[in-house]
Structure 1
Amino acid sequence: MSEALDVRNVAWDRARQLAHSAARALPFQTVNLADALGQTLAEPVHALQAIPHYASSAMDGWAVRGEPPWTLVSPAAPEEHHRGRPAPHADSGEVSLAPGEATFILTGGVVPSDTEGILRTEHGLVRGDVLDRNEDARSGEPSPREHIRPAGEEAEEGSEAIRAGVVLNPAQIALAAVCGHDTLAVLRPPRVSLLMTGDEVIDQGLPHAGQVRDTFGPQLPGFVSMLGGHVDVAGRAKDDLEDVIAAISAEPTDEFSLARASGDVLITTGGTGSSSADHIRRALTELGAELIIDGIAMRPGHPTLLARLQDGRFLVGLPGNPLAAMMAMLTVAGPLIAGLRGSAPAEPSTVVTGEAFEPLPGRSRLVPFRSVNGRAVPSTHQRSGMLRGLAGADGVMVVPADGCVEGDEVAALSLPWVTG
């Protein structure tokens, strides 16, 4: 196993940086507009033409030129206008108005050249082929360019309409269509495979003594999705070195088959310790993997691993304890997936701690907390194997190795499932 000198027991903040910088952005993919909702835009969207691309009427009424009364030219009245026709056109091209002329126009219709303004329907009086203002109209109505939406009012041709990196919403997809695009370049979600270990783990029902329920299979695919990845396949390997090696190297076994092309990242659960029952480190050695992180100076989650396999996939080794594993997901998997997406990792915020913490030499503490009166109060039930504290938490504060006193500001990680 290839190993640098500074990969053992790395500091929490350095682990995040190492995970993010190890990744290279994956190539983007092109999707139809109808498939772009919720995807991350890889390239900015520019207007392929001016928006709107023609001067249009903001009202139903008459396009007029000069002073009243105006002589009406076809179409002269609403009943003569064919809805769906954007503007009055002659066979040879767009109609223009001579001084003293007017023509009826619908909202959104192309404004004839030389139009000086739009007289709205409720302010016009038609007698025969003559249009005049009625008693409700203002003196001098319409004013110059009144009720005319100029070409390029919303965006000039070539201007940036949507910046890269946004998660596309319905309004942005509609805007992309208005800009003239049929497809969009979006970031490809990193493809993730899951490999669970542990002969004592059961998938359903109540465990007997010596057994535990699977806490990873039901939630890791969703967790990965919240971080920006997509789980292609999940399986389980026996607590056997050869079986683990075969599963990691994507060789089919009787129990587990993982196609080599099925992922950019392999996340394993359990077996990252140093006992004779832990096989992940030994498997990485056998496979000649490059170890990027070999343990993190944090609690819980110290025996977290990050490696690069010889086929280019990344392996994130999560500890077997569920809270420790979820802290490892936030610390390593999140920044790694962000790097593969070509985006920055989520930056920690700060919170004011509601309790004092004694020093824990050499290790940061990741502590689920609840926000109470503007302060971060540690959750109860937050040992490595417990989940109740995290399940009801508003975030995770990072207590430095030197500890802190009540009222200190400390770093904090947001939880992707907590909004507001």
Structure 2
Amino acid sequence: MIAFEDAVDCVLQACGRLPAERVALTEALGRVTAGEIRSPVDLPSFDNSAMDGFALCTDGHGIPAGREFAVGGEQVAGDGVRHADRGRACSIMTGARLPDGLDAIVPVEQVDVFERNADARPTRIRLAAAVAPGQHLRRAGEDIAAGALALPAGHWIGANELMLLAGLGLAQVDAVRRPRVALLSTGRELVDDPARPLQPGQIRNSSAPFLAARVPAAGGEVVLRATVPDEPARFAAALEQAAGGGAQLVLSTGAVSMGRFDFIPEVLRSLGAEILFHKVAMRPGKPLLFARLPGGALFFGLPGNPVSSVVGLRFFVEPAMRAMLGLPRERGWRLPLMHDASKKPGFRLHQKARLQLGATGRLGVELLPGQESFRTRPLIDSTVWAALPADREALAAGDIVDVFPLAHEAGVALGPQATGAASP
């Protein structure tokens, strides 16, 4: 049985970053930048108004309250270049391009309109407040200047990133290729069709929908999803199908423990796979198996209990995917326990948990009831995983433990703090 940290090291040593590919911006959500992206333009691309009001020329000196101006023209969002009379005001709307020759905006709330034309548009105004040079303007390049770094290499592209890249007019980006993943469920007791009535001894296949949802969200691409009975020949054929589909990671659930029908280790050996470790000093998920298949794909044999599969994915498969995507190794947040806890020594314990604010306003972590590996309902109440160290048997309230978000990409979105550069 291998220590948890040594097992993770083994997985990461077997993984290398995948090459880049160019993808449409519309397909870039959940991808990782292959190189840095620099802005091709100023954003905004022109000086524009931050308020509905009137554009004026202050000549860099400001204008006192009480000054009157004739209003000459109107500038709305979408209008092009306007050459303004520097001695007159120009009615302007939020987002509209600043007319040439003018350098400040006075909001409509800070003027008195005392003349209007037949269309009720202002023709003469009086300032109710002083106007400072440059006030209420959005300058060209104020958000990001042309040539400035928009996104660094190895950056997860979420909705915020899409907004920026779309604003820069980028139709395509270079992203790291997604790891191609095959999902194999084993067990003659499994029923995939939720509409099919269960026979005595049968159970619903709950892990497969979870894995099929999590793998794409974590940055991978599912290329095969299959359920096979407890038959070595059928499983070997499924592995061959996964290889034919170009799978770089193969995940299976079940048949890796010590029972008579736990046939996967023997199938792997018969095919010439290299088993890198089998059994990890952790709970849940101790029977986890990691191997390199003959064609080079990496194989993760996850235990069959649903929560064991969840833990195996979160703490072994997702780190592998991070490495293949060029992301840094994940490190947990360091947070205090809200209460005492005990565990069996010698095993790292991954506990369903949630974050809580203590009486002093300090953030801590609460371990939830229902930690057994067959119990999925407590996952709904979980917001994080708490990792209790292998060398501890008893922990007291206030002891610091490693805490991980339920999904690795949630940690990516939280920035350096989520990779251990700082503690909350």
Fold match, TM over 0.5?
yes
Residues 43/111 of structure 1: CA separation in 2 closer, same or farther (3 Å cut): farther
- 2:15 equivalent in structure 1: 23
- 1:222 equivalent in structure 2: 213
Query: What is the percent sequence identity of the aligned residues?
Result: 24
- For residues 136 and 253 of structure 2, the distance between their equivalents in structure 1, rounded to whole angstroms, comes to 64
Letter paired with 2:339:
G
Is the deviation greater in 324-333 or in 366-375?
A: 366-375
Deviation of residue 298 (structure 1)? 1.6
Letter paired with 1:403:
E
Structure 2 segments unaligned to the other structure (5+ residues): 359-363, 415-424
Question: 1:136-160 CA deviation, whole Å, 9 max, x = no partner?
Answer: 355xx65544555443333222112
Letter paired with 2:342:
F
The yes-or-no answer on 1:182 pairing with 2:171 is yes
Letter paired with 1:215:
S
- 2:150 equivalent in structure 1: 161
Letter paired with 1:217:
A
- For residues 271 and 200 of structure 2, the distance between their equivalents in structure 1, rounded to whole angstroms, comes to 35
- Contact 2:56-2:104 at 8 Å conserved across structures: yes
- Contact 1:355-1:377 at 8 Å conserved across structures: no
- For residues 381 and 127 of structure 2, the distance between their equivalents in structure 1, rounded to whole angstroms, comes to 63
- For residues 203 and 150 of structure 2, the distance between their equivalents in structure 1, rounded to whole angstroms, comes to 52
- Contact 1:87-1:105 at 8 Å conserved across structures: no
Deviation of residue 351 (structure 1)? 4.0
- 1:5 equivalent in structure 2: none
Question: 1:68-122 CA deviation, whole Å, 9 max, x = no partner?
Answer: 99999xx9433xx79744123xxxxxx587xx7558474533542x556567785
- For residues 11 and 322 of structure 2, the distance between their equivalents in structure 1, rounded to whole angstroms, comes to 9
- For residues 416 and 247 of structure 1, the distance between their equivalents in structure 2, rounded to whole angstroms, comes to 28
Deviation of residue 12 (structure 1)? 1.2
Instruction: With a CA cutoff of 8 Å and minimum separation of 6, indicate the structure with the bigger relative contact order.
Output: 1
The yes-or-no answer on 1:172 pairing with 2:125 is no
Matches within 5 A, 1:238-257: 238-250=229-241
- 2:291 equivalent in structure 1: 307
Residues 320/176 of structure 1: CA separation in 2 closer, same or farther (3 Å cut): closer
Larger radius of gyration: 1
- Contact 1:265-1:314 at 8 Å conserved across structures: yes
- 1:282 equivalent in structure 2: 266
- 2:276 equivalent in structure 1: 292
Equivalent of 1:414 in 401, 405, 413: 405
- Contact 2:72-2:90 at 8 Å conserved across structures: yes
- Contact 1:265-1:313 at 8 Å conserved across structures: yes
Equivalent of 1:87 in 66, 81, 84: 81
Deviation of residue 354 (structure 1)? 2.7
Residues 145/242 of structure 1: CA separation in 2 closer, same or farther (3 Å cut): closer
- 2:342 equivalent in structure 1: 357
- For residues 90 and 14 of structure 2, the distance between their equivalents in structure 1, rounded to whole angstroms, comes to 64
- Contact 2:68-2:127 at 8 Å conserved across structures: no
- For residues 197 and 301 of structure 1, the distance between their equivalents in structure 2, rounded to whole angstroms, comes to 16
The yes-or-no answer on 1:326 pairing with 2:310 is yes
- For residues 351 and 131 of structure 2, the distance between their equivalents in structure 1, rounded to whole angstroms, comes to 66
- 1:47 equivalent in structure 2: 39
- For residues 364 and 117 of structure 1, the distance between their equivalents in structure 2, rounded to whole angstroms, comes to 62
Is the deviation greater in 316-325 or in 29-38?
A: 29-38
- Contact 2:2-2:279 at 8 Å conserved across structures: yes
Deviation of residue 279 (structure 1)? 2.1
- 1:336 equivalent in structure 2: 320
- Contact 1:20-1:338 at 8 Å conserved across structures: no
- For residues 413 and 392 of structure 1, the distance between their equivalents in structure 2, rounded to whole angstroms, comes to 15
Residues 162/199 of structure 1: CA separation in 2 closer, same or farther (3 Å cut): same
* TM-score, with structure 2 as normaliser: 0.75
- For residues 382 and 116 of structure 2, the distance between their equivalents in structure 1, rounded to whole angstroms, comes to 73
- Contact 1:355-1:378 at 8 Å conserved across structures: no
- For residues 57 and 245 of structure 2, the distance between their equivalents in structure 1, rounded to whole angstroms, comes to 66
Cα RMSD (Å) of the superposition? 4.0
